Chain A
Amino acid sequence: MNLPATPADLIPFLFAVITSHTFIQIILFPGFIHVTLVTAFLTWYERKIIARIQLRIGPLYAGGPGGILQPIADGVKLIFKEVMIPYKADKPLFLAIPLALVVMAALPFAVIPFGQNWVIANLDVGLVFVFAMISLFPLMILIFAWASNSKYPFLGGLRSLFQQVAYEIPMWISALSIVMLAGSLSLVDIVNAQARIWFIIPAFLSFIVFFISVMAELERLPFDLPTAEPELVAGWFTESSGAIFMLQFLALYMKMYLMSSLVTVLFLGGWWGPAFLPQPVWFIIKTLIVATFIIIPRAVFARIRVDMLIRIGWTRLLIVALVNVFLTVLLITSGLTAILGM
C-alpha cells in the first residue's frame, strides 16, 4: 500500500488504515484499549483484595457488582480536579514526564503475545525490547522528581533509581536461563517452547529471583521504599495532582500488568492451556493470578529497611541468579531438557 498521492485518495487511504488488521490490533486487542481496561480493573481488584484481607468491604457504591465502576469514578474525579504545579517547578518536564511514563508502559505490550496470532509485532528481540523500555522508567521518575523541585519527591526519586537499577541486574540474569532454554529472544518463540512443559519447572530458582525482582521494580510492598508514606509523604509523586497523578497511576498499574504478563510469558506457558477456552483468555487468567500474588504482599508484609533492600539485591539475588545460569547450562548439556521433551 502506498502513501496517498492526491487529496482525493486520502479518505480511502485512511479507511484502509483504520480497518487494517494491524490498526485494530494496536487500538483494540491486544493494544491500548484492552490494556487500559485491564489496568483500570486492576486498581479496583487491588483495593477489593486488600479490603478482604483486612476484613473490610472495599469499594461498594460506584455501581455494578461490588462497585466495579469505581475506577471510572476515580478517573472522572481526577480529570476534573485542578492540576497544581508547584512554585518553581520545571513546568515543561513536570507536564511531559507523566505522558512519557504512560507511553513507556504501553509500548512493550506491542511484543507481548496474548495468543499464537494475537501479537502486534513478533520482534526477534522482543525480550530485550521489553527490558529496554523498563530500564527507562527510573530515568523518567528521576527527571520528574527533579522537576517537582521539592525534597520529598527528590528523595523518593533517588531511592527509586537505586532500587530499580539494582534489581534490573538479577532480573536480566534470571531471564537469561529462560532464553537459554528456549533458544530465542522472541517472546512468541519462548511461549512456543513451553508447549510441553512450563519453564517454571526446569527454572524454578530463576522464577523466584525474577518474581522478587519484579516486586522491587514495581515498587510494591515490601519494596515500596520510593513511595514510603511515613517517611516521604508519597515519595516521588508527592507533588502531582489531578490528571498528572492519574497518568502516573495509570502508568504504574500498566507496568504491573506488563510485568505480570512477562512472568506469564517467561514461566507460566503464556497462552497454553486446555482448548475449551480461547488462548487470550488463558493468558489473561494466568496474568491476573500472577497480579494477585503481586498484590497480596501489600496487605501482609511490612516495609523492609534500605540496607536490607540493597543487601538482598546485591548479595543474595544476584548470586542466586548467577548460580542459576550455571545450573541451566548443566541442565541443557546433561541432556535432561531433551528427556523432559523440550
Chain B
Amino acid sequence: MEIAIPPDLVFVILAAVTLIAAVLALQAKELIYGAIALGISFIGIAGFFVFLDAPYLAMLQIAVYVGAVVVLILFTIMLVRREQSDELLDRPEGGQGAVGLWLAGLLAVAIAGVAALAGPNLPAAPPAGNLPVSSLGLVLAAEYPIPLVILALLISAALLGALVLAKVEK
C-alpha cells in the first residue's frame, strides 16, 4: 500500500526543519543545545539525501556527521567549564548582525534571480532510480582513482599527525 504524499510538502517540511535547526544551532544560549540543534540539522540534510534517492549517502551522513562530528563537538564543549563556555559565545556586536542580514538577503535575491531566469530552460535531471550501492564504488574506483588515493593519503596523514601529537604530550 502506498500513500501518495505530495513531494513539495516533504521538501518544505525538511527545509523548515533543517533551516530552523541551523538557526537554533547559531543562536542557542547553551552550547549543548546548539550542538544538538546542529545534529538535528544534519539529520534534516540526511532526509534530503533520502528524498533525492541516495539512501546510502543519507545513512553515512547520519553515522559520520551526527554519530561522530556532533559527538566530537559535544565532547569538546563538555571539556570546558560552564563559566568558560559563556565566554566562548560570540554574540554579534554593533552593525555585524545587520551586515549579515543584508548579505544573506542579497544572496537569496541572487539565487532567486538565477532560478527565475535559468530555471525553466534547464533540462530535467534524469531520475536516479534505484541504483545499487556498488555503482557508487565503481564510479569512485574507475573514474576518480587519483582523488580517491589522495583522500586516503590525506586521512592517513591526519591519523599519523594525531598519533604524533598525542605522543608529544607525554
Which chain A residues (160-178) contact chain B, with CB distance < 8 Å? 161, 165
A-B contact pairs, 6 of them (CB 8 A): A124-B55, A138-B71, A139-B67, A143-B74, A165-B68, A183-B134
- Closest B residue, CB atoms, query A19: B1
B111 at the interface (CB under 8 A from A): no
A165→B59 CA distance, assembly (Å): 17
With contacts A124-B130, A132-B62 taken as known, whether A139 is within 8 angstroms of B39 at the C-beta atoms is yes
For residue B98, give the distance in angstroms from its CB to the closest CB of chain A: 32
Q: Which of B108-134 contact A (CB under 8 A)?
A: 130, 132-134
Assembled-state Cα–Cα distance A142/B72 (Å) = 11
- When C-beta atoms are compared, the residue in chain A nearest to B46 turns out to be A132
- Footprint of A on B, CB under 8 Å? 1-5, 32, 36, 39, 55-56, 59-60, 62-63, 66-68, 70-71, 74-75, 78, 130, 132-134
Q: Do residues A142 and B75 form an inter-chain contact, with CB atoms below 8 A?
A: yes
Cross-chain contact A3 with B3 (CB below 8 angstroms) = yes
Q: Out of A20, A133, A139, A142, which one reaches B1, CB within 8 Å?
A: A20
**Distance A123 CA – B39 CA, assembled complex (angstroms):** 23
Report A-chain residues with C-beta under 8 Å of the C-beta of B36: 93, 143
Contact of A306 with B by CB under 8 A: no
Set of chain A residues within 8 Å of B67, measured between Cβ atoms:
132, 135-136, 138-139
Expressed in whole angstroms, the Cα–Cα distance for A132 and B5 within the complex equals: 26
Name the contact of B74 in the complex, choosing from A1, A22, A139 (C-beta under 8 A): A139
CB-CB nearest in chain B for A137: B67
- Decide: A132 near B60, CB < 8 A? Known: A124-B133, A185-B133: yes
Q: Tell me the minimal C-beta distance from A220 to chain B in angstroms.
A: 21
Are the CB atoms of A132 and B71 closer together than 8 Å? no
Contacts A3-B5, A132-B63 hold; do A143 and B32 have CB atoms under 8 A apart? yes
| Known contacts A125-B133, A135-B68; A146 and B32 CB within 8 A of each other | yes
**A128-B63, A132-B62 known; A1+B3 contact, CB < 8 A:** yes
Check A123 against B62 for contact (C-beta < 8 Å).
Answer: no
Is A21 located at the chain interface by the 8 A CB criterion? Answer: yes
Task: For A131, list chain B residues within 8 Å (CB).
Answer: 59, 63
CB pair B62–A2 under 8 Å, yes or no, is no
Contact across chains for A1 and B4 when beta carbons are under 8 A apart: yes
A323 smallest CB distance to B (angstroms): 18
Name A20-55 residues within 8 Å CB distance of B.
Answer: 20-22
Question: Taking the nearest CB of chain A, how far is it from the CB of B40, in angstroms?
Answer: 11
